Structure 1
C-alpha cells in the first residue's frame, strides 16, 4: 500500500522573516519629529500555517519576548507580514530581530514535529487497517459453501478413508434403483 503524506516547500522550510516592509515605517523617521516607538512590519519568508500563527500570538511568545528584555513589544500576523508593535528599528537591529527569528524557528520545529508524528500515526493506522482488511478477506475467502458430504473431498487434509467411504455410499445409492448417471466412474 502506498500512502502519501503531505509534504510541501512550506513544510520543509523554517518560518522566518525576510525584510522590513519600508512602507510600514513612519515617514518622520530620522527627523526630530520621529516617534520613539512605532510599528514595524516584516515580510515572512513564506505564508505561516494556522498552527504557527496561533503559536506566534500565544503566551509563550509574549513570555519569551518579555524574558529577553522586550516586555512592551506586541506581535500580530497580517497575511504574510509580522506586525511588530511598540518597537523601533534600533531595537530590532540590536537584538529583538534575533529573538523573534529564534522564536519563529522554534515554532516551526515544534509544528513540523507534530505534523510528522501525526503523519506517522496516520500511516501506521492505514497499515493496521490494510492488514485487518487482508485478514478479513482471507477469512471470507476460506469459506466454501459445499454440502457436508462433499466437503471432505474439497479439503486437502481429507484422508483417503473418507473418500473411500464416500465412494461406498455412492455405489450403494446406485444399486437402490437410482439412475446410472449418478454412479461414479
Structure 2
C-alpha cells in the first residue's frame, strides 16, 4: 500500500483508486443448474468476482442511473448491475451475451468509473491544496503586518 506524498505544496497523492476496478471471473456455482438443458432459462443472473473490493463511490456509480443509461446505449437495455460485497451481480443476461461483448463493455465501464472518480479526486485535492496555500499566504501576510507593529513610546518633549 502506498503512502501519501506530501513533498509538493502539501498535496497528498491519491491512493483510494490504485487500480481500475475490474472483474476476474464468473462464479460458476451461481449459474442456474438447468443450463445446458431444455429447461434452461434464456436470461439469468451471472455473478462475477471483482479484482479488488470496490470503493463506496464506485459502488454508487455502478448503481447509478448513468450505468443503466450506458448499458442501454450499448445495446443491453435489459441488463442491470448490482454490487454484492466482492461480486458483481449481472442480471437479465446469459453467458453467450457476456461472451459476445457484454463482458468487454462491463470491463470498460468499470475502468471508466474508476478513472472518472480518480479525476474528480485529483481535482478536489488540487482545490484543497490551493485553498491551503492561499490560507497559508493570508496567515503569513497577517503575521508580517502584525510584526511591523512597534510599541514605542513617544519621546518626551521638554
Shared fold (TM-score, shorter chain, > 0.5): yes
Asked whether 1:7 is paired with 2:14, we answer yes
Q: More relative contact order in 1 or in 2 (CA 8 Å, sep 6+)?
A: 2
- Map residues 94-173 of structure 1 onto 2, 5 A cutoff: 94-149=100-155
The whole-number CA distance in structure 1 between the counterparts of 2:56 and 2:154 is: 63
List alignment gaps of at least 5 residues for structure 1: 150-165, 173-185
TM-score (norm. length: structure 1):
0.74
What is the CA-CA distance between 1:98 and the residue it aligns to? 0.9
List alignment gaps of at least 5 residues for structure 2: 1-7
- Map residues 69-84 of structure 1 onto 2, 5 A cutoff: 69-84=75-90
The whole-number CA distance in structure 1 between the counterparts of 2:24 and 2:139 is: 49
Asked whether 1:22 is paired with 2:28, we answer yes
What is the CA-CA distance between 1:72 and the residue it aligns to? 0.9
Higher helix share: 1
TM-score (norm. length: structure 2):
0.86
Report the counterpart of residue 51 of structure 1 in structure 2: 57
CA radius of gyration, larger in: 1
Measured against aligned partners, the alpha-carbon deviations of 1:9-57 in whole angstroms (never above 9, x if no partner) come to: x413111111112221122222333222111111111222222222211
What is the CA-CA distance between 1:116 and the residue it aligns to? 0.3
Q: Aligned residues, how many?
A: 151
* CA RMSD across the alignment: 1.9
Measured against aligned partners, the alpha-carbon deviations of 1:65-106 in whole angstroms (never above 9, x if no partner) come to: 112221111111111211101111111111110111111111
